[in-house]
Amino acid sequence: MKRIVSIWILLMSLTMTCQTKNSPEKETLVPEFSKILDSLKVKGAVLIYDFSKKTYYSNDFSWAKKGNIPASTFKIPNSIIALETGVIKNDSAIFKWNGEQRWNKKWEQDLTFKEAFQFSCVPCYQEVARKIGVERMKTYLKKINYKEMIFDSSTIDNFWLEGESKITQTQQIQFLKRFYFSELPISKRTESIVKNILLIEKTDAYTLSGKTGLSVKNEWYNGWFVGYFEAKNKVYFFATNLEPIKKEAYNDEFLSARIMATKTAFKTLKNLK
């Protein structure tokens, strides 16, 4: 009798687990997010996924489902692949500055792997992509299910900055979710190193991890901020994609708007719940 009860409990537990994993994800429109973007003089979408509630929150789901070039958010899979292939040996790897003038003064120095990631050093990661090469890049992108990257030998070092590669905000979150929950076919060592370089802020109340991105096409700038937010034993994933309302509006305020909009959206969402 005890054995039958134990089997029944086990079956019920497995059933509930399957139901939780397969429970449909919901979408909730949050008009307040649009007000945040308006106040920052930008347009676009903030997309937040509450893992515990299996719910997406956004001001514009159509925008969140259209693809944009990943820009420097691609440094996340690029870092993973670099570590998995051995192009980057460990987290103490150094990128040597060749003395040439660079777009960002922070790049004009020797940089550690973490600094190159957090300073978003384009030349550093172009070097990484060239060393990985076309075939290995394609193999690993398929392996980690990072789709719609279009490149060949002539574009291996810039396909995430210009060209036809694209990713949606929903896809960004799905990828980050698989990464966060150790569902990617990569080593624990790689996962640990990349989680460390993703870390932006850690306080007693929360931990923020993520990566920004910036691209320009036909003089229109497009900005990203993607990552995850941990607080009170819960995790939220986010992908914010913005553009200036006017072409000439690109400035430092636009750059800061990516993170500002995301943080303000989290505060708004907390107050709405």
Q: Do 73 and 98 contact (CB within 8 A), yes or no?
A: no
| Residue 72: active-site member | yes
Query: Which pLDDT value is given to residue 18?
Result: 45
Long-range CB pairs of 89-95 (<8 Å, 24+ gap) are 90/193, 91/193, 91/196, 91/197, 95/121, 95/124, 95/127
- 25-272 in CATH: which number? 3.40.710.10
The residue count of the chain comes to 273
Query: Which pLDDT value is given to residue 272?
Result: 61
Long-range CB pairs of 56-60 (<8 Å, 24+ gap) are 56/25, 56/26, 56/27, 56/28, 56/170, 56/173, 57/28, 57/30, 57/33, 57/265, 57/269, 58/27, 58/28, 58/29, 58/30, 58/33, 58/169, 59/29, 59/30, 59/31, 59/32, 59/33, 59/34, 60/34
| Strands (E) located in the chain | 26-29, 42-50, 55-58, 94-95, 111-112, 199-202, 207-217, 220-231, 234-244
Please report, for the chain, the start and end positions of each structural domain, with discontinuous segments joined by +: 25-272
Check 13, 23, 72, 92 and give the catalytic one: 72
Query: Which pLDDT value is given to residue 12?
Result: 47
Query: Which pLDDT value is given to residue 159?
Result: 99
Query: Which pLDDT value is given to residue 19?
Result: 44
- pLDDT tens across the length of the chain (273 residues): 545 544 444 444 444 444 445 668 999 999 999 999 999 999 999 999 999 999 999 999 999 999 999 999 999 999 999 999 999 999 889 999 998 999 889 999 999 999 999 999 999 999 999 999 999 999 999 999 999 999 999 999 999 999 999 999 999 999 999 999 999 999 999 999 999 999 999 999 999 999 999 999 888 899 999 999 999 999 999 999 999 988 666 677 889 999 999 999 999 988 665
For residue 108, give both structure tokens.
């004009």
Q: For 25-59, what is the HEC assignment?
A: CEEEECHHHHHHHHHCCEEEEEEEEECCCCEEEEC
Query: Which pLDDT value is given to residue 7?
Result: 45
How big is the CA angle at 157 (ends 166 and 211), to the nearest 5 degrees? Answer: 55
